[in-house]
Structure 1
């Protein structure tokens, strides 16, 4: 057996053993379980691109408290970027954010953003090696693969090499978090440490991470189809359909295979499909792959996917609220509905 295959088999075996070891310590989010909310009563929170800067760092504990105080919320997602793009990527900051994440009284699922590793090459970020920061981010936030932050609960990790990609199911809705980030998914040059083009290491890391994300996406849709789930929700950091500017090929080329896969799976799935992202910081809801969309040509999508509904959460200086999402009762016009809840502090 080739060494790569041996590592894959060993990694999967280790993940299986770890998941089994954790089984007695944390309840499962991977499937609907007895005692959870009745259909139509499941509610979760989504935040992202927070905390940004000293003022938000000071306010963040209060914002955590506010979400904790909402008795309807049973799950929280953070779609990446735990700092802004012009502050240092020092070890102590990550540990501080982890401590705040663990204050959530509901399970928290976090997917990394570009600001906490991809963009750390910048001089004002400390001129770090982004791949070293990626490894550090994983060591801080994914030290217990298959277990959420905040209140510990078990989730599925499809690929042991990418513990940040997780899948879970609540109230007939399948969720998948994908590690897909801005800066063209880390294919833009690390100019802060003297690079003018993407390095071979960058290409290798991005290809492996994107392949794993697409595999996780397809697995989520396949399992949702088998279970006749009502909806699939995909959460990630990168805004692949940012309406605020006209992108160049260097801005979006890395996202093309994922967008094509997402379009294919959405077209085949007999249910609602939602994509939630951060990155562009301004709340938005649209259908980016509907017939006539400019994104079809930009990404080479030949079959429109009007069923894909995309939501961008507020963030950065516009981070004045969190997104409260509710699973509606069976028979409703749409599986999910949501509202922006202003922060009170």
Structure 2
């Protein structure tokens, strides 16, 4: 490659820190405590951005407009830019009777109107501009899929919810209705395209790393038990991430919620017990540069993940957990 064709690098990018939360607030006690949790994050001088990985309520409460408005008012108290990606509890699972019996696509549309009022701008008292997939006419509905650069690293949010990526039957109807199947296939196409875009951007800019933020725990083994939702809805996504991360070769971080218990693992590494849960390509794909973090959530969400990004460090990413 000639010097003129060499991609720019992030050698001059400064380190930074963000806060990551998810699956919060769950239930009356956590809802009441949420403003204080926000204040704790606001008081952290290191944090320059907050990411919420989705599930703004528990799975057995109403998906009402009034509840959404309450959480939006809480979100508006974050002093730093707030990036949010929707979770299954606030749209895909809202068909449940105890959630109000809503059509999930209607609830997703409501979330988009309320939480993404200006496409390409985050929430928070001091919002920032981000790139939204909705700027592409082919994906105009997907305002929630965003991308930005932090310390030279490409960050991207992806609307990938739990409940097997919305393959859990709406209202218990099987086979899936045409509306549900269309929702799944359309969003899957958008997701795969946005993953491509994130890695393309990282390669073109010489980014030291990539971070993908989503709600679903795509390796939640409890979903494979009898009566579980399954994990097949994530197969194509896992395959795409593994393939592109392998080609990228630099640190890739997956930030997930959904299963509520903090863990750090390497599901694309052969020695990890989660390796091989999803069909991979090429055969026996192993990508040791991928690290996954699942954040604490639900009733035990008593901390936030303090994620530091240092483009000059070999690992790029480091983290700690800070109690509320």
Structure 1 residue aligned with 2:292, among 310, 313, 326? Answer: 310
Structure 2 partner of 1:155? 130
Distance 2:122 2:167 in 1: 29
Match of 2:4 in 1: none
State how far apart, in whole Å, the 2-side matches of 1:297 and 1:340 are. Answer: 29
1:165–1:179 Cα contact (<8 Å) kept: yes
- What is residue 182 of structure 2 aligned with on the other side? 204
Matches within 5 A, 1:166-177: 166-177=146-157
Gaps of 5+ in 1: 1-31
Residue 136 of structure 1 and its aligned partner are, at CA, apart by: 0.8
Q: Counterpart of 1:189?
A: 169
Q: Which residue of 1 aligns with 2:46?
A: 72
CA distance in 1, matches of 2:274, 2:295: 20
1:334 is aligned to 315
Asked whether the 8 Å contact 1:225–1:270 carries over to 2, the reply is no
SS of residue paired to 1:149: coil
Deviations 1:257-312 (A, max 9, x none): 10000000110113100000000000000001112556554321121112110000
Q: Which consecutive segments of 4 or more residues in structure 1 shift more than 4 A?
A: 247-250, 292-296
Q: Which residue, out of 279, 289, 292, partners 1:300?
A: 279
The 8 Å contact of residues 284 and 311 in structure 1, kept in 2 or not, is answered as: yes
Q: Does 1:85 align with 2:59?
A: yes
Partner of 1:144: 118
Provide, for residues 2-26 of structure 1, a one-character-per-residue CA deviation record: whole Å limited to 9, x for no partner. Answer: xxxxxxxxxxxxxxxxxxxxxxxxx
Using the TM superposition, give the Cα deviation of residue 195 of structure 1 relative to its aligned residue in structure 2, in angstroms: 2.2
Of 87, 90, 106, the match for 2:80: 106
Contact 2:169 2:176 (8 Å CA) reproduced: yes
Partners in 2 of 1:245 and 1:130 — Cα distance?
Answer: 20
Contact preservation (8 Å) 2:83, 2:123: yes
Q: Where does residue 115 of structure 1 map in the other structure?
A: 89
Q: Could you tell me how far 1:169 is from its partner in structure 2?
A: 0.2
Q: Deviations along 1:174-202, whole A, 9 cap, x unmatched?
A: 000000001111111123xx524321111
* Equivalent residue for 1:288, pick from 264, 267, 275: 267
Q: Secondary structure of the equivalent of 1:81? A: coil
- 1:219 correspondence with 2:201: no
Residue 239 of structure 1 corresponds to 217
Determine the C-alpha separation between the residues in 1 that align with 2:291 and 2:250: 12
Q: How many residues align?
A: 305
Q: Deviations over 1:223-279 (max 9, x none)?
A: 101111111000000000125564579511111110000000110113100000000
**SS of the counterpart of 2:66?**
helix
TM-score, normalised to structure 2, is: 0.90
The farther-off stretch of 292-301 and 311-320 is: 292-301
**Larger deviation, residues 247-256 vs 278-287:** 247-256
Looking at structure 2, the residues matched to 284 and 99 of structure 1 have their Cα atoms a distance apart, in angstroms, of: 30
Match of 2:307 in 1: 325
CA root-mean-square deviation: 1.9
What's the TM-score once normalised by structure 1's chain length? 0.84
Counterpart among 216, 234, 252 of residue 231 in structure 2:
252
**C-alpha distance in 2, partners of 1:42/1:297?**
34
User: 1:45, 1:197 → 2: CA distance?
Assistant: 40
CA contact (8 A) 2:53 2:213 kept: yes
